[in-house]
Structure formats: C-alpha cells, structure tokens
Amino acid sequence: MLWIDYEGSRCFGPGRMQLLEGIAASGSINKAAKAMGMSYKKAWTMITEMNEQFSQAMVITQSGGKDGGGSVLTPQATELMAFHRQLRKKFAAFLEKETAGLRQP
C-alpha cells in the first residue's frame, strides 16, 4: 500500500483512491461507499478530510432535488488520482529492482 502523507497525517491512499473511483463511476458518494462495504458516514468523513487537507476540493456535492443530487470529482481529484497511479507504478518498479537480488537463483 502506498500512502501520501502531509504534515504527519495520511491524506491519500488506497481507500480514498477506491472511494474517488467509485464516485467517478456512479456519481454518488452513497453508491461508492456501498460498493466498498463502507458506511456513508465514513465515506463522507473521508471526503471532508480530503477537501480540507488539499488546497482545493476533491469532491463537489449537490444535495437532493428532483433527481436526488449527486457528486462529481474536481479536476484536482482527477490529477491526484493520476499522480497516485504513477507513483504506485514507480514504487512497484523500485521494489522489484531492489528485491530482485534477494531471490534464490
């Protein structure tokens, strides 16, 4: 697992990545949380923390209304997700290289 920390606090990692991917796919925090087996309250807390930890919001919500509201990712969230994917690839390649010498011939 790869986490991005800021000022001693975890601000982005696998769970938040999965939550954002779920929101992007469904347009709903509730649906994304349910797909993960997570409570809506926990998902909402994670989004609130992300929106506060980063300089710009990651998720924009619209409440209720005729169509039931919804949620969308901001361009900043999309950029963060792409950055995290790249970082994971680089980290996996680094680990592969560093541990190659540990394997039995």
Cβ proximity of 44 and 51 under 8 Å? no
List the domain boundaries for the chain.
4-102
Q: Could you report the per-residue pLDDT of 11-27, keeping only the tens digit for each?
A: 889 999 999 999 999 99
Mean pLDDT calculated for residue range 2-14: 82
Decide if pLDDT at 81 tops 80: yes
Bridge partner residues of 61 (DSSP): 71
> 4-102: what CATH class?
mainly alpha
| Each residue's pLDDT tens digit, 26-70 | 999 999 999 999 999 999 999 999 998 888 999 998 876 666 678
- The contacts of residue 101 (CB under 8 Å, 6+ apart) are none
> Which tokens in the block code for residue 90?
């680089």
Residue 38: what pLDDT? Answer: 96
